[in-house]
């Protein structure tokens, strides 16, 4: 009596909605079991991981500090993902955006005042787009695989950053440590409230989500991308441009990642150092898929993934659980998400039944 | 400021209360101490020596203290939150053990004036932010004398993590020590721009040995140089921890950092209520810098000289940075008859004459 | 003859009360039938009547929920296709499974047990082919064979295993009329040797010409069992579709003075090296007429259609739409000028499978008021989808049903309805009734005629000659990338068209 995998004839909306929720619940259950086997009280540790960090206003704002770059990048990436354009190099585009923003912040003539931040923003946006644009050009012109190109460009961006902070951009007053000088005050985003670190990037993230919603569910351009992603031959049949989809998908993702780099440099970082991101560009890919490429889902996914970071720190602080627990939770979540995804579209039956 | 602190504490009190009830009951009497490390926990090296500092606190003060360690906090964005969380949760003494943690500590410390902050390798002092650092160069000077006696080629090798004063200064002292034996000795320099990159470090060590260096000093967070020297049959000098296990035959000695007195001292002062923000810089005399047992291959008469040099440094009779000293561009950086002052030593950004290489 | 077989011997195959349900549909409902040794037995029914499921059950590819299968009097339990082959049951699928880069002999060797001894095998192949009148050369590459020849290889592959029951699924769909006759001769010889044949088809005339017995299915049930040679076409049609075969109304055409679509000297390979090369195609299409393109698939049909729609470009040639050059225009630009196209692949090309019918209305409706200021007007698209569903009797849960949830025939009705809703000046339709049931096919044909009579120029690609003869005003044959002269309605007979298809009547 063998087991067989069959496609489900119908995939209900309820199932689509329940799948990520089930994945989160299973992650909690297995995570709790993991804590228990490590000798901790599973409920207390789960509480410390997932609830504790967000019980206060400060905790909530810190969650936003972590979630905002994830959300901005994931929203941008989801545009390309809908068209089967696989930009997995957002980390590099973020790095280039951060470099461009810092370059403007450090070297623009003084006295720009209110103009400096917009200039840094613009520079970061263009740098992110340009970095992704390389992959778009190569794919549209030569059919190069954008997965490989964007990924390899990430390493190049990382090395460029490394060279800059150790060489020409190293802070002359920084005792030779590989970091730049701090951004000037005019190039630093003030927190929305002096008690917290959260900046205007939150409003920008909401704006991006709103635009994404408009793009996805109302715009004809978004529809064309979706057709190109779901059925390339149908897109060709009605004359939707494939090159247009490649350029749009990559440039939008690159722009979003670049801007996220700006918000890091002008916000919590305040300078460039050899490492500027805990892998936001890669985690954002998970966020995009946890959120099913939908703005509301990306909002929730971004908050949840941010919580795994903050919660990981929290259990380290309060229980001494190693920091790598964050990665374990992210891995568990991804695993269960793929599994529940699978079971919404397929089912396992006994053959001969 | 007061208002904001209260709000912060409210939030985190709910957090702490919810998950650590049994501990909170005793929290009033117990001093909560936090330590934040940029790198992961390790068996040897920088982090290990700081972990030993925490162990020393536990051993000395027992249940009067309760310790929280947060490892792997290498991004400043995250460090700021971690420091704030620790302070909010009632940690009254918080150690940051890496130069890179300076920015976030300087941001958070003023918001928690009741907390004592101690930054190892730090430069900036605030009312409630103290720094402590070791005079690595004292130990390296002695190790350099040993190297000067043991080298056959007259060529030394130096693999440094970053070209920061804390590394460049001791590197210079290593050669200065060796040149007391033979003024023609040179030292080739490589900076990895990483504390932990075993692959690159091994390549660097092998390149130095290929150029003829037969004593290698590694100032990183690994035992790679000592191990590479062992494999090649030459000598090495260790740093931070005793690295004998990586090269039982190769390690001449190691400049071992013992932070116990810094950690226990700070904790005791906070308990007594006598803690103030200090800038401490201790060396061989205070026992913060020690030397691992000398290699058996070092002849008896050389050992006696080394022991005498240790005593000389401790007493101040021997000053490693006594002039005249030139940098490797030929400029006199310390005039004859003068001794480089402490602040200048901590800000060294030149390589001494005989050092082959550049900063960066 | 048939009666003598029926009563004299144990049936080769007997099905009793076979039922098989899939979620939402009963594919087979208490089917009982019996096939005698040496009998050619038709399973007649429209698409969706349950023929394919029944064949899969016999061949062991799926198991029935209920019922009993007897083979030579023995009850078969759950059997696999491998066991079925061991019992002498062989199947020729509609879509072939041959390796194009291997020779005929190599392909056949792959299906036979034991060591591969190609020279000996080639001799056996030649001998078997001669016995049944098949023209198969063992040494030829499959890639060089025509569709009819490939089918002969498939049949031969079965014959090499000495089958006792041979199942053929819609075997004539890929054949020119002359090749059909040849196939029937071969099948009669096979049956004369004692092998039973199950012949699956929805074509009445073929079944009446070939089979001794027909079991008719409709909606998963047996609606009749008869001798098709003696039954009237009316009786069979009633059994198959519940009513008489519908006929279309074909009023006389009145043509526009100038062609609406004009093609000159279209040559070369639009799909690159894999595809077929077009050879100097010239074509004029006037408003008010329907022009057919006949021919077996693979002779340049896809290439020509893609060139006309704008999905591909031929290296040489000019095309004009409504008197203006359109050679360099993209598909969307041609659509905005009044061209509409129903491609032969519905799912994935004519419609996005994972999208709703509303979204799929937008797919081509963007040229006609469904997009404003860059925003899609989903409310209007939904209303239009609902109108198409009701006007074309599309069986769907509504405008929000996914395209992939529709049967092929219903999706075809939807796509045709969608394109007709644009009121195109030039309409190109490829394989308008593939997989569509008889009633719906007549409906679709009538709509195509109506559109042409409203002044549109219509071009129909089809493999079904009967269909083209029924609806077209003129018919070209496309063979090996070349277009024959057009044959006017009335002169276009199957044999005349067939001679062009096989190259005999080429008159360049």
The tens digit of pLDDT for each residue in A57-86 reads 888 998 999 999 999 999 999 999 998 899
- Reported as a single tens digit per residue, the pLDDT across C412-442 is 999 999 999 999 999 999 989 877 777 788 8
Other Cβ atoms less than 10 A from the Cβ of B106: the count is 16
Query: Does the beta carbon of B206 lie under 8 angstroms from any beta carbon of chain A?
Result: no
Among A259-263, A349-353, B6-10, B101-105, top mean pLDDT goes to: A259-263
Query: Does the beta carbon of A223 lie under 8 angstroms from any beta carbon of chain C?
Result: yes
Q: How far is A313 from chain C (nearest CA, A)?
A: 41
Tell which residue, C31, C78, C75, has the closest CA to residue C51: C31
What pLDDT is stored for residue C99 in this prediction?
86
Q: What DSSP state is assigned to residue A177?
A: -
Query: Does the beta carbon of A276 lie under 8 angstroms from any beta carbon of chain B?
Result: yes
Tokens of C308: 């006309």
What pLDDT is stored for residue B103 in this prediction?
85
- Reported as a single tens digit per residue, the pLDDT across B185-223 is 999 999 988 888 899 999 999 999 999 999 999 999 899
Q: Tell me if C348 and A231 make a contact (CB, 8 A cut-off).
A: yes
Q: Tell me if A268 and B100 make a contact (CB, 8 A cut-off).
A: no
Contacts of A237 in chain C (CB under 8 A): 309, 311, 331, 341, 343, 349-350
Q: Is the pLDDT assigned to residue A174 strictly greater than 80?
A: no
Please give the helix or strand (H or E) that residue C418 lies within, else none: helix C408-421
Q: Tell me if B11 and A56 make a contact (CB, 8 A cut-off).
A: yes
Q: What is the mean pLDDT of residues C169-177?
A: 77
CB C350 within 8 A of CB A237: yes
What pLDDT is stored for residue B196 in this prediction?
84
Q: Tell me if A195 and B69 make a contact (CB, 8 A cut-off).
A: no
What pLDDT is stored for residue B25 in this prediction?
37
Of C241, C276, C309, which closes a domain? Answer: C241
CB C19 within 8 A of CB C66: yes
Q: Is the pLDDT assigned to residue B7 strictly greater than 60?
A: no
Q: Is the pLDDT assigned to residue A105 strictly greater than 90?
A: yes
Per-residue pLDDT band for B16 (boundaries 50, 70, 90) equals very low
- Reported as a single tens digit per residue, the pLDDT across A148-169 is 999 999 999 999 998 999 888 9
Burial of A202 (0-12, 13-18, 19+ CB in 10 A): middle
Per-residue pLDDT band for C503 (boundaries 50, 70, 90) equals low
What pLDDT is stored for residue A350 in this prediction?
67
CATH number for C28 = 3.40.50.300
Query: Does the beta carbon of B70 lie under 8 angstroms from any beta carbon of chain A?
Result: yes
Of B77, B85, B166, the CB nearest to A317: B85
Of A162, A313, A324, the CB nearest to B81: A313
- Reported as a single tens digit per residue, the pLDDT across C469-478 is 999 999 999 9
Q: Using CA of residue C261, residue C267, residue C270, residue C275, what is the dihedral sign?
A: positive
Chain A neighbors (3+ CB pairs < 8 Å): B, C
Query: Does the beta carbon of A317 lie under 8 angstroms from any beta carbon of chain B?
Result: yes
Tokens of C502: 């096989």
Residue C41 lies in a domain: yes
Tell which residue, A30, A184, A40, A202, has the closest CA to residue A115: A184
Q: Return the bridge partners of A273, or none.
A: A179
Question: Looking at per-residue confidence, does A343 or A236 come out higher?
Answer: A236
d(CA B8, CA C309): 66
What pLDDT is stored for residue A11 in this prediction?
63
Q: Tell me if C354 and A352 make a contact (CB, 8 A cut-off).
A: no
Question: Looking at per-residue confidence, does B79 or C499 come out higher?
Answer: B79
- DSSP three-state, residue A233: helix
Q: Is the pLDDT assigned to residue B9 strictly greater than 60?
A: no
Cα maximum dimension of chain A: 79
Residue C416 lies in a domain: no
Query: Does the beta carbon of B102 lie under 8 angstroms from any beta carbon of chain A?
Result: no
Interface of A with B in 138-197 (CB under 8 A): 162, 166-167, 170, 175-179, 182, 194-195, 197
Q: Which residue has the tokens 């659980």?
A: A321
What is the overall mean pLDDT for chain B?
A: 88
- Reported as a single tens digit per residue, the pLDDT across B261-305 is 999 999 999 999 999 999 999 999 999 999 999 999 999 999 999
Backbone angles phi, psi at A282, to 5 degrees: -85, -40
- Reported as a single tens digit per residue, the pLDDT across B52-61 is 999 999 999 9
Q: How far is A268 from chain B (nearest CA, A)?
A: 5
- A114-128, B246-260, C237-251: segment of lowest average pLDDT: C237-251
Per-residue pLDDT band for B150 (boundaries 50, 70, 90) equals very high
Other Cβ atoms less than 10 A from the Cβ of A266: the count is 27
Of A9, A220, A234, the CB nearest to C376: A220
Q: How far, in Å, are A49, A241, B34, B78 from residue A316 at the CA level?
A: 9, 50, 11, 13
What pLDDT is stored for residue C3 in this prediction?
39
**Whether residue C352 sits in one domain with residue C326:** no
Cα B319 to chain centroid, rounded: 20
**Whether residue C313 sits in one domain with residue C192:** no
Q: Tell me if C371 and A227 make a contact (CB, 8 A cut-off).
A: no
Q: How far is A96 from chain C (nearest CA, A)?
A: 31
Query: What is the CATH number assigned to the segment(s) A41-320?
Result: 1.10.3470
Tell which residue, A117, A133, A276, A277, has the closest CA to residue A201: A117
Q: What DSSP state is assigned to residue C356?
A: B
Of C241, C274, C300, which closes a domain? Answer: C241
Q: Where are the beta strands (DSSP E) in B61-148?
A: 65-70, 91-96, 116-120, 129-134
The total number of structural domains that make up chain C: 3
CB C237 within 8 A of CB C204: yes
Q: How far is A106 from chain C (nearest CA, A)?
A: 40
For B314-334, letters b (16+ CB in 10 Å) and e give: eeeebebbeeebebbeeeebb
**Whether residue C228 sits in one domain with residue C108:** yes
Q: Tell me if B193 and A270 make a contact (CB, 8 A cut-off).
A: no
**Please, what is the angle between helix C177-192 and helix C494-501, to 10°?**
90
d(CA A309, CA B315): 50
Residue C160 lies in a domain: yes
Query: Does the beta carbon of A35 lie under 8 angstroms from any beta carbon of chain B?
Result: no
**Whether residue C491 sits in one domain with residue C350:** no
**Whether residue C285 sits in one domain with residue C325:** yes
- Reported as a single tens digit per residue, the pLDDT across B299-346 is 999 999 999 999 999 999 999 999 899 999 999 999 999 999 988 898
d(CA C417, CA C364): 11
**Whether residue C84 sits in one domain with residue C147:** yes
Query: Does the beta carbon of A345 lie under 8 angstroms from any beta carbon of chain B?
Result: no
What pLDDT is stored for residue B5 in this prediction?
37
Q: How far, in Å, are A42, A74, A310 from residue A304 at the CA level?
A: 19, 13, 10
Q: Is the pLDDT assigned to residue B22 strictly greater than 70?
A: no
Torsion-angle region of A172 (φ positive above 0: left; ψ -120 to 50: alpha; else: beta)? alpha
d(CA C417, CA C427): 12
Of A59, A276, A317, the CB nearest to B11: A59
d(CA C40, CA C212): 6
Topology annotation, domain B136-257+288-356? Rossmann fold (3.40.50)
Q: How far, in Å, are A319, B15, B60 from residue B63 at the CA level?
A: 17, 23, 9
Size of interface A-B (CB pairs under 8 A): 123
Nearest CA in chain C to A215: C375
Of C213, C241, C269, which closes a domain? Answer: C241
Tokens of C80: 């696999």
Q: Tell me if A55 and B18 make a contact (CB, 8 A cut-off).
A: yes
**Most A CBs within 10 Å, among B38, B78, B82, to test the A interface:** B78
Q: Where are the beta strands (DSSP E) in C36-187?
A: 40-45, 66-71, 74-76, 89-92, 165-169
Q: Does domain B2-134 have CATH number 3.40.50.2300?
A: yes
**Whether residue C428 sits in one domain with residue C286:** yes
Q: Tell me if B78 and A278 make a contact (CB, 8 A cut-off).
A: yes
- Reported as a single tens digit per residue, the pLDDT across B104-145 is 899 899 989 999 999 998 888 899 999 999 999 999 999 999
Q: Where are the beta strands (DSSP E) in chain B?
A: 31-36, 65-70, 91-96, 116-120, 129-134, 155-160, 186-191, 215-219, 235-240, 251-257, 279-282, 289-291, 325-326, 332-334, 355-356
Contacts of A322 in chain B (CB under 8 A): 41, 71
Chain C neighbors (3+ CB pairs < 8 Å): A
End-to-end CA distance of chain C: 48
d(CA A53, CA A308): 10
Contacts of A238 in chain C (CB under 8 A): 331-332, 335, 363-364, 366
CB B37 within 8 A of CB B69: yes
Residue ranges of domains in chain B: 2-134, 136-257+288-356
User: How much is the pTM?
Assistant: 0.75
Q: Do the domains B136-257+288-356 and B2-134 match in fold?
A: yes
- Reported as a single tens digit per residue, the pLDDT across C283-332 is 999 999 999 999 877 788 889 999 999 998 888 999 999 999 999 899 99
Per-residue pLDDT band for A351 (boundaries 50, 70, 90) equals low
- Reported as a single tens digit per residue, the pLDDT across A240-291 is 988 889 999 999 999 999 999 999 999 888 899 888 998 899 999 989 988 8
Q: Is the pLDDT assigned to residue C211 strictly greater than 70?
A: yes
Burial of C275 (0-12, 13-18, 19+ CB in 10 A): middle
- Reported as a single tens digit per residue, the pLDDT across C98-118 is 888 888 888 888 878 777 788
Query: Does the beta carbon of A347 lie under 8 angstroms from any beta carbon of chain C?
Result: no
Q: How far, in Å, are A24, A160, B23, B131, B241 from residue B45 at the CA level?
A: 39, 29, 32, 20, 5
Nearest CA in chain C to A352: C63
Contacts of C355 in chain A (CB under 8 A): 226-227, 230
What pLDDT is stored for residue C507 in this prediction?
45
Residue C402 lies in domain = 344-409
Q: Is the pLDDT assigned to residue C6 strictly greater than 70?
A: no
Number of H helices, E strands in chain A: 13, 2
d(CA A266, CA B343): 32
CA atoms within 13 A on the CB side of A6: 14
Q: How far is A1 from chain B (nearest CA, A)?
A: 49
């Amino acid at each position: 009596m063998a087991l067989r995998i069959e496609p489900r004839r119908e995939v209900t909306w309820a199932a689509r909605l329940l799948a990520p929720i089930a994945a989160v619940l299973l992650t909690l259950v297995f995570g709790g079991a993991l804590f228990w086997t490590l000798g901790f009280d599973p409920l207390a540790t789960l509480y410390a991981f997932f609830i504790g960090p967000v019980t206060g206003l400060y905790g909530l704002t810190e969650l936003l500090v972590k979630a905002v770059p994830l959300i901005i990048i994931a929203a941008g990436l989801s545009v390309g993902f809908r068209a089967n354009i696989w930009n997995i190099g957002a980390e590099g585009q973020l790095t280039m955006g951060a470099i461009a923003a810092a370059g403007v912040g450090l070297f623009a003539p003084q006295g720009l005042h209110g103009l400096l931040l917009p200039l840094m923003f613009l520079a970061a946006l263009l740098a992110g787009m340009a970095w992704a644009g390389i992959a778009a050009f190569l794919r549209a012109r030569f059919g190069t695989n954008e997965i490989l190109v964007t990924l390899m460009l990430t390493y190049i961006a990382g090395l460029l950053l490394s060279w800059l902070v150790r060489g020409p951009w190293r802070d002359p007053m920084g005792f030779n440590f590989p970091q730049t000088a701090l951004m000037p005050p005019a190039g630093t985003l003030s927190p929305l409230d002096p008690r917290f670190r959260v900046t205007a990037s939150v409003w920008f993230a909401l704006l991006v989500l709103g635009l994404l919603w408009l793009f996805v569910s109302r715009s004809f351009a978004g529809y064309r991308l979706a057709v190109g992603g779901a059925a390339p031959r149908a897109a060709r049949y009605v004359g939707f441009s494939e090159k247009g989809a490649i350029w749009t998908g990559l440039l939008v993702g690159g722009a979003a990642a670049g801007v996220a780099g700006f918000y890091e440099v002008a916000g919590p970082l305040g300078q460039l150092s050899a490492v500027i991101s805990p892998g936001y560009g890669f985690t954002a890919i998970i966020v995009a898929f946890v959120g099913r490429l939908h703005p509301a889902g990306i909002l929730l996914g971004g908050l949840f993934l941010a919580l795994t970071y903050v919660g990981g720190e929290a259990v380290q602080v309060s229980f001494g659980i190693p920091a790598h627990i964050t990665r374990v939770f992210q891995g568990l979540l991804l695993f269960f998400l793929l599994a529940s995804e699978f079971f919404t579209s397929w089912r396992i039956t006994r053959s001969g039944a | 400021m007061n208002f904001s602190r209260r709000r912060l504490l409210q939030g985190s009190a709910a957090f702490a209360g919810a998950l650590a009830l049994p501990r909170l009951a005793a929290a009033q009497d117990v001093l909560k101490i936090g330590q934040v490390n940029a790198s992961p926990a390790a068996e040897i090296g920088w982090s290990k020596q700081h972990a030993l500092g925490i162990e020393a606190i536990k051993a000395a003060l027992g249940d009067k203290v309760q310790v929280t360690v947060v490892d792997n906090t290498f991004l400043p964005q995250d460090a700021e939150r971690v420091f704030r969380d620790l302070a909010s949760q009632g940690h009254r003494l918080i150690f940051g053990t890496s130069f890179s943690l300076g920015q976030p500590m300087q941001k958070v410390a003023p918001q928690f004036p009741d907390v004592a902050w101690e930054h190892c390798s730090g430069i900036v002092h605030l009312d409630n932010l103290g720094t402590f650092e070791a005079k690595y160069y004292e130990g390296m000077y002695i190790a350099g004398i040993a190297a000067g006696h043991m080298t056959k080629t007259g060529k030394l090798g130096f693999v440094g993590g970053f070209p920061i004063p804390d590394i460049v200064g001791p590197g210079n002292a290593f050669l200065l020590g060796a040149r007391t034996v033979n003024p023609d000795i040179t030292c080739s320099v490589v900076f990895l721009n990483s504390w932990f990159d075993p692959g690159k470090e091994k390549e660097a060590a092998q390149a130095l040995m290929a150029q003829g260096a037969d004593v290698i000093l590694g100032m990183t967070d690994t035992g790679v140089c000592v191990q590479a020297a062992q494999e090649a049959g030459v000598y090495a000098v260790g740093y931070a921890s005793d690295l004998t296990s990586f090269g039982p035959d190769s390690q001449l000695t190691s400049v071992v950092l013992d932070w116990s007195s810094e950690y226990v001292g700070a904790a005791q002062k906070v308990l007594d209520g006598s803690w103030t923000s200090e800038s401490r810089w201790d060396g061989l005399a205070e026992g913060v810098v020690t030397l691992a047992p000398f290699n058996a291959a070092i002849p008896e008469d050389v050992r006696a000289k080394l022991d005498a040099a240790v005593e000389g440094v401790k007493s101040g009779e021997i000053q490693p940075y006594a002039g005249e000293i030139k940098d490797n561009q030929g400029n006199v950086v310390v005039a004859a008859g003068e001794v480089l002052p402490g602040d200048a030593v901590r800000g060294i950004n030149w390589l001494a004459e005989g050092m082959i290489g550049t900063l960066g | 003859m048939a009666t003598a077989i029926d009563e004299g011997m144990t049936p080769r195959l007997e099905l009793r009360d076979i039922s098989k349900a899939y979620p939402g549909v009963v594919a087979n409902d208490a089917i009982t039938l019996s096939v005698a040794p040496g009998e050619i037995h038709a399973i007649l029914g429209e698409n969706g009547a349950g023929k394919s499921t029944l064949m899969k059950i016999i061949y062991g590819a799926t198991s029935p929920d209920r019922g009993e299968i007897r083979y030579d009097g023995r009850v078969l339990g759950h059997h696999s296709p491998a066991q079925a082959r061991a019992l002498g049951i062989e199947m020729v699928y509609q879509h072939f499974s041959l390796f194009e880069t291997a020779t005929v002999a190599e392909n056949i060797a792959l299906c036979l047990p034991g060591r591969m001894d190609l020279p000996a095998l080639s001799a056996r192949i030649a001998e078997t082919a001669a016995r049944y009148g098949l023209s198969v050369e063992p040494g030829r590459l499959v890639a060089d064979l025509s569709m009819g020849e490939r089918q002969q290889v498939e049949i031969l592959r079965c014959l090499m295993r000495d089958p006792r029951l041979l199942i053929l699924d819609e075997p004539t769909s890929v054949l020119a009329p002359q090749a059909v006759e040849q196939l029937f001769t071969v099948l009669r010889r096979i049956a004369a040797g004692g092998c039973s044949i199950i012949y699956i088809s929805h074509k009445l005339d073929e079944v009446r010409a070939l089979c001794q017995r027909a079991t008719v299915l409709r909606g998963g049930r047996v609606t009749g069992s008869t001798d098709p040679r003696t039954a009237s076409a009316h009786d069979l049609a009633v059994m198959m579709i519940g009513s008489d075969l519908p006929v279309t109304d074909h009023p006389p055409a009145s043509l526009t003075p100038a062609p609406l679509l004009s093609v000159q000297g279209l040559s070369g390979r639009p799909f690159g090296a894999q595809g077929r090369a077009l050879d100097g195609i010239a074509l004029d299409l006037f408003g008010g007429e329907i022009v057919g393109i006949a021919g077996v698939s693979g002779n340049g049909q896809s290439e020509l259609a893609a060139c006309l729609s704008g999905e591909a470009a031929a290296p040489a040639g000019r095309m004009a739409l409504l008197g203006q050059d359109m050679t360099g225009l993209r598909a969307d630009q041609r659509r905005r000028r009044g061209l509409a196209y129903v491609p032969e692949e519905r799912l994935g090309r004519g419609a996005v499978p994972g999208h709703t019918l509303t979204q799929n209305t937008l797919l081509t409706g963007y040229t006609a008021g469904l997009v404003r200021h860059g925003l899609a007007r989903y409310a209007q698209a939904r209303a239009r989808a609902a109108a198409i569903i009701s006007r074309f009797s599309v069986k769907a849960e509504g405008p929000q049903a996914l395209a992939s949830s529709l049967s092929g025939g219903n999706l075809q009705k939807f796509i045709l309805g969608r394109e007709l809703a644009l009121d195109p000046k030039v309409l190109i339709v490829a394989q308008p009734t593939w997989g569509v049931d008889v009633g719906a096919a007549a409906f679709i044909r009538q709509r195509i005629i109506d559109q042409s009579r409203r002044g549109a120029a219509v071009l129909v690609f089809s493999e079904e000659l009967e269909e083209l003869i029924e609806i077209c005003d003129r018919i070209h044959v496309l063979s090996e990338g070349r277009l024959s002269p057009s044959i006017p309605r009335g002169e276009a007979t199957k044999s005349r068209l067939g001679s062009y298809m096989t190259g005999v009547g080429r008159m360049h």
